[in-house]
Amino acid sequence: MNAYVARVIDYVKTKHANEPEFCQTVEEVFSSISPVIDAHPEYEKVDLLTRMVEPERMFTFRVVWCDDAGQWHTNIGYRCQFNGAIGPYKGGLRFQPNVTPSVIKFLGFEQTFKNSLTGLPMGGGKGGSDFDPTGKSDAEIMRFCQSFMTALYRYIGPDVDVPAGDMGVGGREIGYMYGQYRRLKGVWENGVLTGKGFTYGGSKTRPEATGYGAVYYLQEVLAHEGESIEGKTIAISGFGNVAWGICQKALHLGAKVVTLSGPDGYIYDPEGVSSSQEKVDFMLKMQASRRNKVQDYADKFGVQFFPGEKPWGVKADVIMPSAMQNDVRMESAEKIVANGIKYYIEVANMPTTNDALAYMMAQPNMIVAPSKAVNAGGVAVSGLEMSQNSERLVWSAEEVDEKLKGIMKTIHAMSVEAAEEYGLGYNLVAGANIAGFKKVATAMMEQGCF
């Protein structure tokens, strides 16, 4: 590895030893870009990499809300405006009890390179709260979202920072937050948030975009190998928005998603969750119930439920982890390899530990695709939503879907090209990191690297 890259990775691991997820993502991305640093000694001259690992701005705020029983609660809100070199900060808000500064920083860092890959003018940001939406009433969610936005609204804007959803934040939460933003600012600036409802500027296809984009990317990978998606079995984790989009697209294309998972375990449906619209629609009901239990699917459709287990021992053609970070560790990677699975397509942000990722990438018969490319369709359609809002126009679902397909195709092609340029072969992980990095690095250099 390039000595400068190694020094910066060591620096981050020492300086931020208490932020394990952040250190993990920096190590993963920077190891990949080592050949670019070899080829560009000017980056070391200005110590560009150390600037890149420090967010431009990151802050916390107090979020106080009252539950239905009249009890007051205080949560921590976060926003990390990681890198604004190529556009306004852009990235989701995550509401989940395990949100920490490290989690927000790793997501913001990943988002910077992901957004760059989309080809759209968006910088990287991320935010959220340690608030737990599980079991909360609609009124409690509304009060929390209003309080959250009251604290945040001064620091965002259509040309400043544009939040969206992530885990625990969907259309309903974005609606409450947008309503509060509008009330506080007294302006119609719907470009301030993406993932909005269709009646006030939301883009068609945004709810489906992450899952659809992931399947479009998978199709590019399969085409590269001379294969087609029809009839393929896919094991996924999670049952949230992303998993739902994958199942919906799999239903359209005749692929079979055989697993879903939640904090309680996983379900195995040999006929496929994607075998009927009723099953795919049921996923939305499970989410809306806020019970956070995937067992509900097994009870409803009479399939097997494996309490407390992950689905990674299942035999399938394709694995798509779609739940959360570090879902696939070494012991799961060993099962995936032992099962002879060829396609490992990350979907959730950083779903694989670095050792497990390296182990699978080293398998001669495996193709590994990285989340920052595979899940970029979500934020890409957010970018399209921003364009529609600023132009005051509305594109049809077909128009957005066509653009999304084109973007996913381009991301795959750019990754292939970037890896080839550095003699790395069909290495989608390195290719995505290199392609995403190059644009941000060039913009930072041209702007004087502030």
Question: Which residues are at the interface with ligand 2IT (CB under 6 A)?
Answer: 90-92, 111, 114, 164, 166, 194, 349, 375, 378-379, 382
For ligand 2IT, the closer of residues 114 and 438 by Cβ is 114
Q: What residues act catalytically?
A: 126
For ligand 2IT, the closer of residues 189 and 227 by Cβ is 189
* Shortest distance in whole angstroms from residue 271 CB to ligand 2IT: 31
* Shortest distance in whole angstroms from residue 164 CB to ligand 2IT: 3
For ligand 2IT, the closer of residues 248 and 349 by Cβ is 349
Distance CA 143, CA 67 (A): 8
Please provide the size of the chain in residues: 450
* Shortest distance in whole angstroms from residue 240 CB to ligand 2IT: 11
Task: Name the burial class of residue 44, with classes exposed (0-12), middle (13-18) and buried (19+) by CB atoms within 10 angstroms of its CB.
Answer: middle
* Shortest distance in whole angstroms from residue 169 CB to ligand 2IT: 8
Q: 386: alpha, beta or left, given left = phi > 0 and alpha = psi -120 to 50? A: alpha
For ligand 2IT, the closer of residues 34 and 382 by Cβ is 382
Residues 6+ apart with CB under 8 A from 206: 194, 195, 378, 381, 382, 385, 400
* Shortest distance in whole angstroms from residue 108 CB to ligand 2IT: 10
Which residues in 251-386 belong to E strands, given as ranges? 256-262, 265-268, 304-307, 318-320, 343-345, 367-369
For ligand 2IT, the closer of residues 275 and 325 by Cβ is 325
For ligand 2IT, the closer of residues 110 and 296 by Cβ is 110
* Shortest distance in whole angstroms from residue 45 CB to ligand 2IT: 32
Distance CA 422, CA 162 (A): 34
Per-residue CA distances from 283 to 168, 246, 266, 397 (Å): 15, 11, 14, 22
Residue nearest to ligand 2IT (CB): 92
User: Beta strand pairing status for 304-307 and 265-268?
Assistant: antiparallel
Residues 6+ apart with CB under 8 A from 319: 234, 235, 236, 312, 328, 336, 341, 343, 344, 345
